[in-house]
Amino acid sequence: MELADTPLADVRARIAGACARARRDPGEVTLIAVSKTRGPDAIQPLLDGGQRHFAENRVQEAEAKWPALREAHPAVQLHLVGQLQSNKAEVAARLFDCIHSLDRPRLVGALAKSFAKTGRALPCFVQINIAGEPQKGGCALSAFPGLLAAARAADIPIAGLMCVPPADIEPAPFFAFLDKLARHHGLEGRSMGMSGDYETAVMLGATHVRVGSALFGSRHPTKGD
């Protein structure tokens, strides 16, 4: 049961408010708690509050802490939101339930092989480098149609598109563009919005918001929360 007067309750209320303003059903939006760098003691209160979608940036970190937590909470859905190395695709296929960072043809091939081997075809979001920032992962806009075609040809389940807008710039135009791009290609999911802008993202079509510091606090601030 969700506890009152907690960060989780506040974030859920804000999502509901953004949905009301956008005339959307709150059930259309999945809140993902980004638990990277957070230990079990920090994660447990969210589990107690009914949160079941969590995300990690690194395969190794997820391997270290989530098997025990998932044994106690088998309904948890684990998302990978960080860049995935091709040589860790099989481990990711066994450990996660969704991947938000499909961004290159080589990874398409690695995931297709891993899905066939493990029998787990995970839904994947294609990550778009929405502003062409060289320091960020994600597929260039010019390469996106080819990557999407390759993923579909390899029978990768495409859940939608993901983006991380530039820091310190109004994110709304980037969210609106991702929504338009997803619609154009017949994709349902939009993984967009983090602690500082998830309400804006919800109003512009987000189906998955990735929230870290607003839920866990900023004791260990990390990029991408």
Return the pLDDT at 179.
98
* Alpha-helical runs (H) found in the chain: 7-22, 40-48, 59-72, 89-95, 105-118, 144-153, 172-184, 198-203, 213-216
Domain membership of residue 172 (yes or no) is yes
Evaluate whether residue 1 is within a structural domain: no
CATH number at residue 52: 3.20.20.10
Is 65 inside any structural domain?
yes
- Domain, as residue range, for 132: 7-214
Q: Is 155 exposed, middle or buried, given 0-12, 13-18 or 19+ CB atoms closer than 10 A?
A: exposed
In the chain, the number of structural domains is 1
Residue 191 lies in a domain: yes
pTM summary value: 0.94
In a domain, 183, yes or no: yes
CB–CB of 133/157 below 8 Å? no
Dihedral (CA of 218, 193, 97, 86) sign:
negative
The 10s digit of each residue's pLDDT in 101-152 is 999 999 999 999 999 999 999 999 999 999 999 888 899 999 999 999 999 9
The values of phi and psi at residue 97, to 5°, are -115, -15
| Domain assignment present for 78 | yes
> Do the domain assignments include residue 75?
yes
User: What phi-psi label fits residue 18: left (phi over 0), alpha (psi between -120 and 50 degrees) or beta?
Assistant: alpha
pLDDT exceeds 50 at position 188: yes
Q: What is the per-residue pLDDT across 202-221, written as a single tens digit (0 to 9) for each? A: 999 999 999 999 999 985 44
